[in-house]
Structure 1
Amino acid sequence: MRMVAAVRAGASVLMLAGFYIVALIQVAAAIAFGVWLSSLVPGGIALKVIFPVLVAAIGSVAVGMWKAVRAKPQPPEGLGLGPDQAPELWRTVHELAHVVGTRVPNEIRLVPEVNAAVYEESRLLGLIGGRRTLYIGLPLIQAFTVDQLRAVLAHELGHYSHAHTRLGAIAYRGRLAIGGTIGRIGPYNVAGWIFKGYARLYLLVDNASSRRQELEADQAAVRAAGRAAAASALREIPVVDAAWGFFFGRYVEPGWESGFAPEDLFGGFAELLAARKDELEEMRGQEPPSDGSVWDTHPPIAERIGAIAATPEVARPPDGRRAGVLLPDMGGAGRAMQARMLDVGDRRVLPWAYFTAATATTTMQRNADGIFRAVGRAIGDDRLNLATLLDIVAANRLGAAAESLFPNATRREVPKCFTEPMAMLIALAAIKSNVAYWQHSWTGPARLVGHDGQPLPTAEIAARAVSPQTVDEARAWLAHLRIDPGSAMVVEQRASATGAGVVAGIANVKVDGVEHDLLVLDKGLVFVGNPGKSDKGKVRLQELVGSAPADEIARTHRFLPYEEITSVAFVKNVPLRVDITLHSGQTVSVHEAWSSELIAKNSRDVLTDVLKQVSD
């Protein structure tokens, strides 16, 4: 294995060296061409012709190489588990290391990912091994059987026994150097095309080597756990990954964006796995992905399972216990990792039942605020609540007051269309009146129920509350249930960017004649004043977007919610010039310049489409 490692290290170094040889050849060719051209035209013209080539070949490569030399891979931090904290897990790792023929890692760390990995601080181009760390994703331990986890751990230890990890630093620096160089070469620099072609060749070779390494490590998994366990683990990883993504998207992220954090993140995931086991079992019956690409670092799962099936079987006693038995206190480990690695900031940390309730109520209030603001703009009142809205219904003014919410309905149709929003406002009033609460569930959405555990008749009340003829019946029903209509009121009198994402960006635009950078969010526009030098626009936008979440950026700078826009006049398409009229009567002029820079190629089209949708 040491000889194989040396050969692969040498190949990686040669491939990386070839990149700089290409640069030197281009420099020599550019100089020779410049000397020849200077014999035909004045020297100044010749210099202008070859200057872009020299910049690409010398400047960009030098910067990329300097960054690569100084940088090194940054492994995840994780939560360290000593032998005294997880003796059974360490015993298993010792056993597996012996089976695959490698030395035991120096430390084991838990990470909050559906993944396992190994890292080695090697020296001398990977010829000399160093300190080793084994990373295990806690979600894998929560979801896997002991057999499946043994297969995954043996696979990772197999990377050690085949000396794959010793090439990590070389591969990292190679990708960093080439990527950094390519990123500094403009799209119209002809000399850069040669670099980009070589970069593609480098990645093709590097990715092919990575795929071979994965297949080799799979053989180690078979030796340690058997073919069935190795194949089963590969099939299970996409299932657990999908469950983890669903868990975050459905349960965690909405509350996180609303200013809350769950008290026991990993405990919640364990409960979801138990509650949705039938759905997960159905996912396991699906065929694994078989499509692959030469640009992939891992072979398709179907190909890996096929290779495992062709490997000689190794008799191993099965162990179908849950992998959590390898940790004496998995719940405590999850809470410790959350405390160490999750920065909650100023969010309120709540138990799951309260976290779900707070999230649902905050989301409902945000939606209610949008309704109240729309109606308030129509009637000239920015302090609306449900009680005043019922007065509007009684006065037969709901059609005119809420027509902006239903642009495709006539005024006579608006009250019936408003039934669903009215039901939501009644539900909010029930919560604010302490008549109802949210019932948490891992098998479906949270339910709004009364103190008897039964759903409230919000839809029936709302059907009466939107008509002048029956609104008094609705009021009486609310009174009977002890629901105070005045408790459901507008909180945010102006829309915020909470939960927003960046969809486009244009640097160096004029807003009402003043230089700005413009970020396009899915909830509004952000105007960034005093942006800086015009030649750094794209980089400036990228740094801004990477510096903080979109809602924080919107709070720091001028934010224009889309709901405040009444119309958009397109004065010119390229460069884009628009005049935006607001409900207040104010006009905002946005003029793109020829010197403007886009954070992405389609940014202008995205902004145009968004403004057209808002103005329709």
Structure 2
Amino acid sequence: MKTTIRAALSVGLLAGFYLLAVGLIGGLGWLTVWLWREHPGAAAGKLSYLTIAVAIGLVVAFWKILRAKPEEPGGLLLAPHEARELWDTAHDLAHQVGTRAPDEIRLVPDVNAAVAEQTRFMGLAGGRRIMYVGMPLIQAFSVAQLRSVLAHELGHYSGSHTRIGALAHRGRMAIVQTIVQIGPSTLVGRIFRLYARIYILVEQAVSRRMEYEADEFSVRVAGRAAAISSMRDIPVIDSAWDFFVNQYVTIGWDAKLAPRDVFGGFGELLRGRAEELARLRTEAPPSEKSRWDSHPPIADRIAAMSGMPESGAAVDDRPATVLLNNAAELAARLQHEALAIEGRTLLPWDELTDTAIAANAQRDIDVLFRAAARLGGAPQGDLGLVLSLVEQGRAADLARAVAPHADADELLPALAAEIGGAVAIAARAEGIGSWRHSWSSGADFAKADGSPIPIGEVARLAVDPATVAEARQRLAGLGINVAAVRQQSAGATATGAEVLGGIANMKSGKQHFDVFILSNGLLLVPGPKKTDDGKQRLITVLRSAPVEELARQHRFLAFEDIAAATILKLVPVRVAITLHSGETVELHQPWTGEALDKNDDDLLRGALEPFVVEPQNA
């Protein structure tokens, strides 16, 4: 399908949406007039209200679209003198694919490369061109591989794909804004949602065809081998980057800590885990297909590339970082400008690992210590009190308090893990050991000379009443004072919690709440009585602030604070939650309520199941 045909199709679909909107208003208006003439009364009045509401919703949606301004480009703007060879490469590749070179090149903190064009007249006229290049790609790729990716992106310019993309974006905006204004659950909203499905299906099919066209430029300019190797490497690098961010960069996020050199760390990870990444490259490329995807499966694209003629392009195996005049300096500036690290303490990697793990461990063992204080009737918990409770045969009670959702055979191992964390914190406080950073494996706790400390062995002894005394002796031999490891926080928070689900418009007494099911408790956010658009409201609340901050602003029922629960009704779910303080909180889901997922009522019942004492299948 030629570009002009695709452009016409996009324009036609967008025009079709506006025609549909006008037709619906016209039809409703005609039906309203007819009903007032032939059958005046309440029905005519309700239809009049619907017609006016739809017309106003469409006008508001269109006004927002017309006034919408393109987002400001993100990333770090690269001046030519800061990346002379990268700029020269972009101009050379643009010449080879027969298009105008980008006006801006921006570094971004993603495993991605992309092009955009600030078009005019809804994408029908060209404008300023921007190329985005991911710093992780530059760190992981050779020059030849990066050239293949950039040739692909510039191919989108050559095929006028960026202008078509502007049309597609405008169409999506029009449909989404209209559905939001009218309401997705109304009859008219459902009609537009059906149109949206058709529009997106056609748009995604067009997008997939564009990717194949751009791949032809990649092979022609950079060579088949470079194009295929870069295509194979992208999912590997993407996985490595996600692993790096989750396991290294954000390890101290909850403690307001961040690494001093993010991108330098990623380079170290690529070297430290080179063998693992090499094994990933040998695996078959992703082949999953969906008609909703904007890109074809990588396996299909590689197969198509393999059938393209070889171009004979020279192979440049130099690391792509040579295209930047000073990669380390630019990476530092990108980290400062593009990553959300404001207000965090920046630490070198070794110190970050030790400090962050210690902070996270203290937060976890505080759950254990608060449970011990409650069970032992003490004002504050510590490791000594935990060991005393185990000696009294209360290990199972402690385990259920720290891991209420664990299976029976997982309870004591969970308790041992928490006690092990407490032992490590104590050893660290005494200067006996610390958590040591590693790029090739997980962090381990060891002495300064690298020799291990038998934390796991001591923790296993500490969960058995018959061997607690031996555990105490081993701790004393290590120089650890069990009374010195004590509770630091008075109450539970949602720090580090994961959102599992949410139910809108639950009722507690005379109040209405949107209830979020977290990995460590329930968050109750006051909500309106009306049940319309409950799912969208749940999403809006979650986007408004971090979960930890929402829990500080609203009611948070931590699982560790729940003494018992009763399922009063299964459908719609109705539960009574009794806290250790003696207070009872009853939550009742309305028949017309919405949820983040259709099974979130089951999720809520499952979250409370460990506390249920009188289930009723009413």
Query: Alpha carbons of 1:46 and 1:95: their partners in 2 closer, same or farther (altered >3 Å)?
Result: same
Contact 2:113 2:132 in 1 (8 A): yes
Q: Which runs of 5+ in 1 are unaligned?
A: none
| Identity of matched residues, % | 45
Contact 1:505 1:518 in 2 (8 A): yes
2:326 equivalent to 1:313: no
User: Where does 1:407-418 land on structure 2 (aligned, <5 Å)?
Assistant: none
Contact 1:78 1:109 in 2 (8 A): yes
How far does residue 438 in structure 1 lie from its aligned partner after superposition? 0.8
Counterpart amino acid of 2:429? K
Which of 238, 244, 251 matches 1:247?
A: 244
Query: Alpha carbons of 1:24 and 1:109: their partners in 2 closer, same or farther (altered >3 Å)?
Result: same
How far does residue 8 in structure 1 lie from its aligned partner after superposition? 4.5
CA distance in 2, matches of 1:22, 1:414: 59
Which of 420, 431, 436 matches 1:439?
A: 436
Q: Which runs of 5+ in 2 are unaligned?
A: 614-618
2:165 equivalent to 1:168: yes
Query: Alpha carbons of 1:399 and 1:305: their partners in 2 closer, same or farther (altered >3 Å)?
Result: closer
Counterpart amino acid of 1:373? R
Q: Deviations over 1:440-493 (max 9, x none)?
A: 111211010012211112234345545666555544443333222222111123
Cross-structure match for 1:268: 265
Query: Alpha carbons of 1:375 and 1:305: their partners in 2 closer, same or farther (altered >3 Å)?
Result: same
CA distance in 2, matches of 1:415, 1:162: 62
Query: Alpha carbons of 1:329 and 1:593: their partners in 2 closer, same or farther (altered >3 Å)?
Result: same
Counterpart amino acid of 2:382? N
Which of 223, 227, 246 matches 1:226?
A: 223
2:384 equivalent to 1:352: no
Cross-structure match for 1:103: 100
How far does residue 214 in structure 1 lie from its aligned partner after superposition? 1.2
2:209 equivalent to 1:238: no
SS in 2 for 1:302: helix
How far does residue 346 in structure 1 lie from its aligned partner after superposition? 2.8
Which of 20, 26, 29 matches 1:28?
A: 26
Counterpart amino acid of 1:335? A
Cross-structure match for 2:606: 609
Contact 1:69 1:173 in 2 (8 A): no
Q: Size of the alignment, in residue pairs? A: 610
Which of 396, 402, 409 matches 2:398?
A: 402
How far does residue 506 in structure 1 lie from its aligned partner after superposition? 3.6
How far does residue 15 in structure 1 lie from its aligned partner after superposition? 1.6
Cross-structure match for 1:216: 213
Which of 141, 150, 153 matches 2:150?
A: 153
CA distance in 2, matches of 1:214, 1:408: 46
User: Where does 1:28-67 land on structure 2 (aligned, <5 Å)?
Assistant: 28-38=26-36, 40-49=38-47, 52=50, 55-56=53-54, 58-67=55-64
Q: Deviations over 1:282-304 (max 9, x none)?
A: 11112222232222211221222
Query: Alpha carbons of 1:403 and 1:256: their partners in 2 closer, same or farther (altered >3 Å)?
Result: closer
How far does residue 276 in structure 1 lie from its aligned partner after superposition? 0.9
Counterpart amino acid of 1:402? L
CA distance in 2, matches of 1:536, 1:468: 55
How far does residue 140 in structure 1 lie from its aligned partner after superposition? 0.4
TM-score (norm 2): 0.90
Counterpart amino acid of 2:281? R
Cross-structure match for 1:13: 11
CA distance in 2, matches of 1:334, 1:274: 18
2:531 equivalent to 1:572: no
Which of 98, 114, 131 matches 1:134?
A: 131
User: Where does 1:369-384 land on structure 2 (aligned, <5 Å)?
Assistant: 369-384=366-381
Cross-structure match for 2:500: 503
Cross-structure match for 2:328: 331
Counterpart amino acid of 2:20? V
Contact 1:67 1:176 in 2 (8 A): no
2:279 equivalent to 1:282: yes
Contact 1:419 1:463 in 2 (8 A): yes
Counterpart amino acid of 2:398? A
Q: Deviations over 1:514-548 (max 9, x none)?
A: 4444332221122234x456467735433321111
Counterpart amino acid of 1:555? R
How far does residue 551 in structure 1 lie from its aligned partner after superposition? 0.8
How far does residue 601 in structure 1 lie from its aligned partner after superposition? 4.1
Which of 450, 453, 458 matches 2:450?
A: 453
How far does residue 325 in structure 1 lie from its aligned partner after superposition? 1.6
Counterpart amino acid of 2:230? A
CA RMSD, aligned part only? 3.0
Query: Alpha carbons of 1:124 and 1:10: their partners in 2 closer, same or farther (altered >3 Å)?
Result: farther
Query: Alpha carbons of 1:417 and 1:596: their partners in 2 closer, same or farther (altered >3 Å)?
Result: closer
Contact 2:250 2:258 in 1 (8 A): no
Which moved further from structure 2: 14-23 or 381-390?
Answer: 381-390
SS in 2 for 1:483: coil
How far does residue 36 in structure 1 lie from its aligned partner after superposition? 4.6
Q: Deviations over 1:104-139 (max 9, x none)?
A: 211111000111011111223434322111100001
Cross-structure match for 2:616: none
Which moved further from structure 2: 605-614 or 78-87?
Answer: 605-614
How far does residue 160 in structure 1 lie from its aligned partner after superposition? 1.3
How far does residue 149 in structure 1 lie from its aligned partner after superposition? 0.3
How far does residue 23 in structure 1 lie from its aligned partner after superposition? 2.1
Contact 2:516 2:523 in 1 (8 A): yes
SS in 2 for 1:131: strand
Query: Alpha carbons of 1:368 and 1:192: their partners in 2 closer, same or farther (altered >3 Å)?
Result: closer
Cross-structure match for 2:488: 491
SS in 1 for 2:500: strand
CA distance in 1, matches of 2:412, 2:298: 54
